[in-house]
């Protein structure tokens, strides 16, 4: 029997994903709002602050709701865990639904917090996007896939029972920071279909900016799921201990206690 009920695990995923979007994606309009007076261009320092916002909230959520639901807060992670038999397929719809609801609630919270002040800046809800004039669809797909793969292989590596215990939140959070700093300039580094969906959905309701569902359905969603799933299988291929084959007679035999070891030859 599960220690926590399905309702508890669903609520944990809703809360975790909502706060991921609110703090992570919400850091985008927050930083742009701070710089609005100076008209300074978006810089590497801005990207670093956004990356750390995501990393810190991921760390906090792993230590907060991880004990309840495992803190997937990412449909790609849930799918990859199910594909490698670490998570039951029957619970995938529950987790996916909870993650999408949480991401949408987090985006609505961004809207309520910043209102017109944030949306007027062009990145009002922290929507991910890529400029297909300078970044090809193939490059965007690969960037998202490799970013999510790095995240997935980090998750599996640090939660492996052979790894040091108690470091999962910090290690995964730092991995998120590193991934966003690298992939962010190309695709804004969604590496999470729910994180991409929530702000895009609320922005579509608000109607104050252009939005592109085609990029979500054609690049972000498939790339993130593909990257996480491939990484999970690669991790198993790399880290599963090999089975040592021993003859059954040798495996079950015990040394004869009456046998005296021969004296060493001098």
User: What are the sequence ranges of the domains in the chain?
Assistant: 6-115+126-239
- The pLDDT tens digits for 135-177 are 999 999 999 999 999 999 999 999 998 888 899 999 999 999 9
CA distance 159 to 109: 31
What's the whole-model pTM score?
0.86
The DSSP line for 154-206 is HHHHHHSTTSPTT-HHHHHHHHHHHHHHHHHHHH----SHHHHHHHHHHHHHH
Q: Does residue 125 contact residue 199 with C-beta atoms inside 8 Å? A: yes
Q: CA of 183: how far to CAs of 51, 98, 149, 238, in Å?
A: 10, 26, 12, 25
Mean pLDDT of 205-228: 87
CATH of domain 6-115+126-239: 1.20.1080.10
Beta strands in the chain (DSSP E): none
Residue 22 has pLDDT above 90, yes or no: yes
CA distances from 111 to 117, 118, 236 (A): 10, 8, 41
Closest to 121 in 3D by CA, of 11, 181, 203: 203
Closest CA to 25 of 146, 152, 202, 174: 202
Mean pLDDT of the region 222-234: 98
pLDDT in tens, 246-262: 566 555 556 666 665 65
């Amino acid at each position: 029997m599960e220690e926590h009920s399905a309702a508890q695990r669903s609520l944990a995923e809703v809360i975790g994903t909502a706060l991921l979007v609110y703090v992570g994606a919400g850091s985008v309009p927050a930083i742009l709002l701070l710089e609005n007076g100076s008209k300074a261009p978006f810089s590497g320092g801005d990207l670093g602050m956004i990356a750390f916002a995501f990393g810190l909230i991921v760390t906090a959520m792993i230590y907060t709701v991880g004990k309840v639901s495992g803190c997937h807060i990412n449909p790609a992670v849930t799918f990859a865990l199910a594909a490698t038999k670490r998570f039951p397929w029957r619970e995938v719809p529950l987790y996916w639904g909870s993650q999408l609801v949480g991401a949408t609630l987090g985006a609505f919270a961004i809207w309520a917090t910043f209102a017109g002040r944030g949306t007027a800046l062009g990145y009002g809800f922290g929507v991910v996007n890529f400029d297909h004039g300078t970044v090809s669809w193939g490059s965007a797909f690969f960037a998202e896939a490799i970013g999510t793969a790095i995240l997935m292989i980090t998750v599996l590596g640090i939660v492996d029972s052979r790894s040091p215990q108690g470091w999962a939140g910090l290690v995964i959070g730092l991995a998120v920071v590193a991934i966003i700093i690298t992939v962010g300039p190309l695709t804004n580094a969604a590496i999470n279909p729910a994180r991409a969906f929530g702000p895009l959905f609320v922005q579509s309701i608000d109607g104050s900016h252009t939005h592109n569902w085609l990029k979500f359905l054609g690049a972000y969603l498939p790339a993130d799921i593909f990257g996480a799933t491939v990484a999970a299988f690669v991790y198993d291929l790399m880290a599963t201990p090999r089975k040592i084959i021993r003859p059954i007679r040798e495996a079950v035999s015990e040394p004869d206690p009456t046998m005296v070891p021969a004296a060493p030859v001098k």
